Structure formats: structure tokens, C-alpha cells
Structure 1
Amino acid sequence: MRIHPLLLALTCVSALAQAKSNDLGLLDKTLTPMGSERAGNADGSIPAWTGGLDKAAGSLDGNGGYSDPFASEKPLFTITAQNLGQYQAALSPGQLAMFKRYPDSYQMPVYPSHRSARLPAPILADSRTNAGKTTLADGGNGLHDYARGIPFPLPTEGMEVMWNHMTRWRGGSYERFSSIALVRENGAVSYIRAQSLVSFAEAVTGLEPNANVLFMFKSRVLEPARLAGETVLVHEPVDQVVEPRAAWQYLPAQRRVRRAPMLAYDNSARYSNGLITADNIDGFNGAPDRFDWKLIGKQELYIPYNSYRLGSRSLKLDELVKPNHINPAYTRYEKHRVWVVEATLKPGARHIYSKRRFYVDEDSWQIAQVDQYDSRGELWRSSELHAIQHYDHDFTYNVLETSYDLISGRYYAGGLSNEEKAPMRVGFTAKTDDYTPSELRRWAK
């Protein structure tokens, strides 16, 4: 049950030959302004890009939930353990492993593909400027001459693709309320609800010129009561080798703000019970220096896409979060082209993963799927990022992020906003004073 190597090789050679060009005119011709291929694929299962979803594509309800522009569509087919052989060339090893682990319940309903990704015109203009000047710094651990937008719309290296993901436009700033679900192997579920704010450098006043800041982040737990008031603050540098991530935590029981140096690399992400690492949130984040990064090329893959139904505010969490995996009745998969990037742990470096393979959507630069291998080289965890196009703000972001432990049978589901009453707030301006350790304690109350 493996992707045929010749098929993948042929796909990748074609993609890399295109990507090695530095002709910015391609962004007006064969490539989209984001750097993806304008044309559809040979059999028509991936359509041509026609501009993505515009602001008239749908509407928001009173709780901030997005209407589904594709609500009337039915699945073209559903992939199951019984018909898996027909589709395995367009599935990742992690996806294939899910069918093997849960042959009686795991399914992937596949719908018509829609290339929904769209970015604001100013961000596309900045991305075009980046293509002519932005370079990797310090062996790929940072960026030179970067402001905002896509730094490498014409990528030639694995780290360039990963930086496109880490810096992708998400409205400049956003605030959202959401929950994490931790599901044990026996099906028992525990929830943690939190409020999070993120402000990228361009949306923060008071920063020094050319400050080594990608974004600032803070989060506080709202439920359960035993954890309420616990907060965390992160200053995320553009280059985390020159200047490591700065993090602080406030615990009400201690009534003091402490530095939190462990919120990086393979340390367990907060409240994940070890199911995801700190650098696994959002597919990948943080310093890349412990891995060697290789750009494999492109592949046509069935990935989570246009997951509006999964993010519906009319859906209850208990309808979605089920034993073993999320309820497949609410998922949506489409065939899209993805960049494939493989990260291999450097000799002498420490991380619980010896290898990771990332599948990055060519249009949005969002990681859609991650396969993660243990120290023995065995496939250990499979992660998926179910995203929608936020058509009112012209960016793509997750409505659900999952990480499945293929050995223990436990899983993590984050970003759940289905039962929230407040919409995601986007595009506000913050001050550096909003993201200080002293503010953290006040905000916790």
C-alpha cells in the first residue's frame, strides 16, 4: 500500500523544472500570483484556478459561522478500506495507515475540487516584490529582506516552501475562541476551551524598525474551571536561531509570570497530553534547524479542503468528536496539487521524530497533511489540517487540526469553534504593550 515511486517521480520532476525559473512573468502567465499552477491537471479532476472565492461567495451567521458555498454538492465517491486500492496513489502513507488502523469506520468522502484560495491584492503585490529580493538566512533558519506576504512564490528548496507556510497571510491579526479535544483509546473525551490572539509584525505598533519579530501570540484557558486563567505569551522571531522564541506562562495558583523556555521543538504542546509537539501546531512552526529539509516535488493528493461543514456553528462537538477519529460524515476531501517536503533529523540533533513529510497546498501554502516517523523510522502519527477560505478576509485557515497516534489509538483535535457564539475577529491593530509579561497577568483575570 505505497505510492508507486515512478508515478511520484514523474510528477515531481515536472513540478521542479517549473519551479527553478526566476522569471517573475510566470506569475502573470502559467502561474497564479501565489505561485501555483494556473492550469488544471490532465484528467480534469483538478480544475484551473480562476481567482478563488470572492467576498460574495457566502455569508456569516450571527455567531460568525461561514455559510458553505458548496453545500449542495454530493461526494463523487467515498474511499474506504475496501476500495482503497483504486486511490492509494493519491494518498499519503499516513492516510493509508488510518485505513489500516480503522478499517471498519475510517472513510474519506471525496468531492469536486474547487481552488478557493485567494489573497488581497496588496499581499500579492508584496509577494511579487519578495520574489525578487527575499532570501533564506542562516541556512534556512530565517529570512532576509522580507516584509509580509509569500516570501518565495517560485520556491526551489524545501525550506522556501516551509517559510511560505509559516508566513502565509492570515489577516494580519486574529482573535478566536476555540476548544481542544483529547480523545483516549477507549473513546473518553476531555475538552479545553481557550481564547487566543495573534498579531503579525505589520499589525503591531511600537516595534523597532527591522525587529526580528514574525508575530506575537497570547492565549488563556477559559474552561475547565481547574485550568481557567492559565495564560501563555509568545514572541515569535523570524530567525529563532539568532534569537530563540521567547515565551512566558502565568499560573493563577502561583500568582506570578514565569519564563517558559520549553515551548519549542519536540516538547509537548500545552494541554495536548503529548499528542502533538510544540512545533507541530499549525502543521509546523518555529525553528527548523534540527532537520535537513528536502523538496521532493509535487504530487496530486486527496486532502482536506473547503471544510465548511466541519466548521459549522450548528454542529455540536459531540457530533463531531468520536472514538478513534473525527466523524467522517462531516469531512470533505478534494484532489489538489501539493508540494511535498521531507524533513530528516540531523545527526546529533534531538527530536522525537526522525523524519517528517509535509504536504503543502500549492494555492494557499497551508500544510494539509503531515506524516511523522519515530526514532526507528516507523510511521507514528498522522496529522491533518482541515481548512476553509475565509472569503470575507481573503485568506485560508484551519477549522480543525488533528493528530492521530497510530500506535496508541489516541488523538488530538484542535481549533474547534463549532459551539462558539463569537465570530473570529480579524485585522485589528495591536500595541507591543498588549503582548508583555506584565500584561499577561492582568489579562489572565
Structure 2
Amino acid sequence: MRNGLLAAVTIAAMGASAPLMAKVSVEEAQRLNSDLTPVGAERAGNAAGTIPAWDGGLSTPPDNWREGAVEVDPFPADQALYVVTGDNLELYRDKLTDGHRKMIEQYGPEFFMPVYQSRRTAAYPEHVYDKFRENALTAELLDNGNGVRNTIMTSPFPIPKNGLEAIWNHILRYRGEEVSFRSASATPQKDGSFNPVVNHYDYFFAYSEIGTNLEDIDNKIFYLKTETIAPTSLAGTITLVHETLDQVRSPRLAWRYDSGSRRLRRSPNLAYETDLPNASSLRSVDQKDMYNGAPNQYDWELKGKRELLVPYNAYRLHDQSVRPADVIRPNHINQQLARYELHRVWVVEATRRTGIGHIYDRRVFYIDEDSWQILVAEEYNDKGELWRVSEAHNISYYSEPVFWTTMEMTYDLKADRYYIDGLDDGYPAYNFAPGYRGNEFTAAAARRAARR
């Protein structure tokens, strides 16, 4: 690890302009090899001993897991230490987000939070840690904050100085080079009835490809193709997205093939507050992956760190035997399958800029210090009322060391309904090496696939 940091320092020193572009000093960057992890988290545990020290994360799969299989629970013997309910809410109030407190008050006693031993499982390949160290020395925001430069592969700012840097760390966090998987989404009715929409996802993360640089990727972060498998009325619908780095200079490119019209059309409005397709107006496009897209509609403030109870190590929700009907309940998911742990999170507040028409006036994001993954988000309306609460339930994947969501949901506190994505109905494990060449993600390729 020390050699990796020294190599990064050498690279930065080779160019005369490097010191002007460096976001942190060499001395600060050294912290990524001492009191901070390579990702920028505090390496030590907390004073109370309720958050452990980081020891490298879950970098080795459990012995009972086999390549190609769905991830198994690495902690099958864990039992809940305690359960937060309406009866003991005041005892844990300082460890809860405003959103979770509201969920307990509004939906208790059915909504409760089982709390387990905190395990800092997030881990990444060593070459990703090397890039964290290099990015720390070179990455910087563009003048308008709508993009970054002198960065590649993973989060640009492991030692963030402001809210924009922190949200870019989430947007550009490492999720592997490519991945293919199938999952279902649903928008349950108030009585818990639901009709799942099954999609197949193919991602190619150009930004994270080994050996690439920003000039090679043509302002692209990733390419995404989704194909709807069920229900029959939607089957064959294809969405193609080219996600750009600076979306103000070069907006997101999106196409949609409707099996009814049998035409592939550009979708220029697939961004910001637009309703997420098949979400029954319960989630906006920029809530996919908890937050995505250009940050230019908000002012971003880094509020610091807090120790909070957040979704983590959601292997019970990820379990291959768990079906959508086991998860979905009226108003919220089956909380018996949820797992919460005490972790340190960065708190970032986004306030809508004057003159912007987004449906959310204010948003608060709680970002995992060990992965830069948003774990919880709160969305407020024009009246300043808490409107929606979003959760990301995450695991560490095994075939590629990646900490990423297995299930996401947005709870609408006004409609008493929710949107959920990541439901598994016996689908294969995520494939982090499908072998894409890149030409699978052109509009012509999507058109050919639609006609098959």
C-alpha cells in the first residue's frame, strides 16, 4: 500500500502543473495510508467500541460460496443486538435519521429496525485503492461543479472538502468494469398487492475500465441497456443510456424502444425530476441508484459525519430463497428481513437553487464512509415537509470485490406507498465479467436487439 502511494506521488510530480491541480497535498494524501483507509474512511473504530476498526473489509468470500453462485450470508450466526421500535425510539433518537424516525412513528409497530453487530465489509481490488490515492492528488471539480477532471476509475475525492466533492464520490464510485443481471421492481398498493416488472440490466463502466483515461472515454461514465422481460404488456421494451460525466456540457443520451410502436426513439427528458419509468410516479429518474446525473440543480453542503443506524450487509434480503412475496408488505418491506448497523456516514444536504423547478426542494443524503455509497436519502417538498425516504440495502459481492446495492426502495409518506427495485425471483447471480466489447451499447445494436 505504501508503494502504491509513493507511485501516485511520483506520477503527480512528473507534470509541472500537477501541484496546481492537486486537491490535497502530498502530506494529506499520506493519511490514506495511515489514519484513513484508501477510500478515505477513518481506519479506527469509534470511542465506544460499537463501530470496529477497518481491517480490509470482506475481501475473501466465505468458504461455502462457489464462483457463479448467488452470494451467501457471511455472518449466518448473527442475531439482532436490539430492535428500535416506537416504544424505545427516544433511547436511540440520536442514532436515527429524520427519515427513519418518521417511518417508525408513522408505520409502527410493523416498521421497526433490527440492529446487528457493525461489520465494515466494504472492500475493493488493490488497483482501485491505487487510483483512490492518485485521484486524491490530481482530481478537481470543473469550474461549474458539473464534472470533474484528472480522475479515473473510482471516487475522485477520498478526502472531500465540500458537498459537491462528496456527491461526485457517490456518482463515480467503483462498481466493477461491467455487470449483467436480472431483477424485478414493483409499486405495491396500500394493501400490499403488487405486479412486478422484470428487467435485464447490462452495464459497461467505461470510467472504471483498467488502463483507460478521461480522453479515451469521451465524457462517458457508463453505458446501460435494460430490457423488460415481464409483464407481457411491457416485454421487449428496451432502454439505452449513455451516462455522461459533464451532463451540462454534453447531456445524458437516452433511447427507448417501445414494443408497441416498434421504434427506437431518443428520450431527451430521461433525467432530473422526470418520473422513473414503471415507478407509478413514486420516484424520479435522478433517484435511481439513490442519486444520479448532473448536480447543477442544487447547492450542496457537506454537513460532516454522524454515527447512524443504516442499512448494511443485507444478505437476508439478497438470499436466493427469498421471493418478492416474502419481501413486500403494505407501506414498507418486511422489516424482519432487514439489517441495520451503526456506521459513520457523511451527511450531505442539497438545497434547490432559485428558479429551478425540481419536485424536491431539499434533499439529505447519508453516504457510507467505507464505500461512498448513499445508504439513506430524505426528500422534502416545497412546504419543507418530509415527503419521501429512500433506502439502499447493500452487500459486498464476491466474484468482484464491490460494495453495491442489492435492493433499493423509496417510501412515499404522503401516498403510503413505495417503489422497490432489486427483487429476486430465483434469478442467476450478478455476472461481473460478461465480456462486453462496447459495441453492444450503440443505438444500432439496441435496434437490432429489439427486432430479434
Whole-Å separation in 1 of the counterparts to 2:215 and 2:94: 49
1:142: which partner in 2? 147
Higher RCO by CA contacts (8 Å cutoff, separation 6 or greater): 1
Change (3 A) 1:226 1:58: farther
Distance 2:133 2:260 in 1: 50
Distance 1:399 1:308 in 2: 9
Aligned equivalents of 1:221, 1:72: Cα separation in 2: 37
| 1:336 aligned onto 2:330 | no
Q: 2:436 aligns with which of 414, 430, 435?
A: 430
Q: Structure 1 443/64 Cα, relative in aligned 2: closer, same or farther at 3 Å?
A: farther
| Partner SS state of residue 264, structure 2 | strand
Q: 1: CA distance between counterparts of 2:271 and 2:69?
A: 32
Which whole-Å CA distance do the structure 2 matches of 1:64 and 1:230 have between them? 28
Q: Distance in 2 between matches of 1:421 and 1:209?
A: 34
Equivalent pair of 2:241/2:254 in contact (CA under 8 Å): yes
Aligned match of 1:353 in 360, 370, 388? 360
Rounded Cα–Cα distance in structure 1 between residues aligned with 2:228 and 2:69? 21
Name stretches of at least 5 consecutive residues in structure 1 with no aligned partner.
1-18
The answer for the alignment partner of 1:234 in structure 2 is 241
C-alpha spacing 1:190/1:210, structure 2 compared with 1 (3 Å): closer
Matched, 1:366 2:364: no
C-alpha distance in 2 between matches for 1:120 and 1:218: 26
Q: Do the aligned partners of residues 147 and 357 (structure 1) sit closer, same or farther apart at CA in structure 2, a change above 3 Å counting? A: same
Change in CA separation of 1:421 and 1:98 when aligned onto 2, cut-off 3 Å: same
Q: Which AA in structure 2 matches 1:334?
A: E
Matched residue, 1:43: 48
Query: Paired residue for 1:211?
Result: 218
Equivalent in the alignment of 1:389: 396
Which position in structure 2 is the counterpart of 1:311? 318
% identical aligned pairs: 40
TM-score by length of 2: 0.91
Cα deviation digits, residues 317-350 of structure 1 (max 9, x gap)? 1011111111011110000000000000000011
Q: Is the 8 A contact 2:392 2:405 kept in 1?
A: yes
Q: CA deviation at 1:442?
A: 2.2
Question: Which residue of 1 is the match for residue 183 of structure 2?
Answer: 178
The yes-or-no answer on 1:95 pairing with 2:103 is no
Identify if the C-alpha distance between structure 1 residues 240 and 138 changes in structure 2 by more than 3 Å, giving closer, same or farther. farther
- Out of 359, 376, 379, the residue aligned to residue 386 of structure 2 is 379
Aligned residue for 1:4? none
Cα root mean square deviation, aligned? 1.9
2-structure distance, mates of 1:333, 1:398: 14
CA contact (8 A) 1:181 1:321 kept: no
Report the alpha carbon displacement of residue 391 of structure 1 after superposing the two structures with TM: 3.0
Partner residue of 2:205? 200
How many pairs are equivalent?
A: 426
Looking at structure 2, the residues matched to 271 and 339 of structure 1 have their Cα atoms a distance apart, in angstroms, of 31
In the TM superposition, what is the alpha-carbon distance from 1:423 to its structure 2 partner? 1.6
- Asked if 2 retains the 8 angstrom alpha-carbon contact of 1:171 and 1:427, the reply is no
Question: Are residues 1:244 and 2:251 paired?
Answer: yes
The alpha-carbon deviation at position 415 of structure 1 amounts to 1.3
Q: Shift of the alpha carbon at 1:149?
A: 1.9
How far residue 75 of structure 1 moved from its aligned partner, in angstroms, is: 0.4
Which moved further from structure 2: 356-365 or 386-395?
A: 386-395
- Secondary structure of the residue that 1:370 maps to in structure 2? strand
Shift of 1:416: 1.5
Q: Which residue identity is paired with 1:423?
A: A
Shift, 1:70, TM fit: 0.9
Q: Tell me, what secondary structure is at the counterpart of 1:310?
A: helix
Cα drift, residue 421 of structure 1: 3.3
Pick aligned residue for 1:263 from 266, 270, 274:
270
Partners of 1:147 and 1:42 in 2: CA distance: 35
Shift in Å, 1:186 = 2.9
Name the structure 2 match of 1:442: 448
Separation in 1, partners of 2:122, 2:223:
25
| Structure 2 counterpart SS, 1:123 | helix
Structure 1 position 66, deviation (Å): 1.0
Aligned to 2:405: 398
Tell me what 1:8 maps to: none
Q: How far apart, in 1, do the equivalents of 2:133 and 2:89 lie?
A: 41
For structure 2, list consecutive stretches of 5 or more residues without a partner in the other structure: 1-22
- Measured against aligned partners, the alpha-carbon deviations of 1:2-23 in whole angstroms (never above 9, x if no partner) come to xxxxxxxxxxxxxxxxx98761
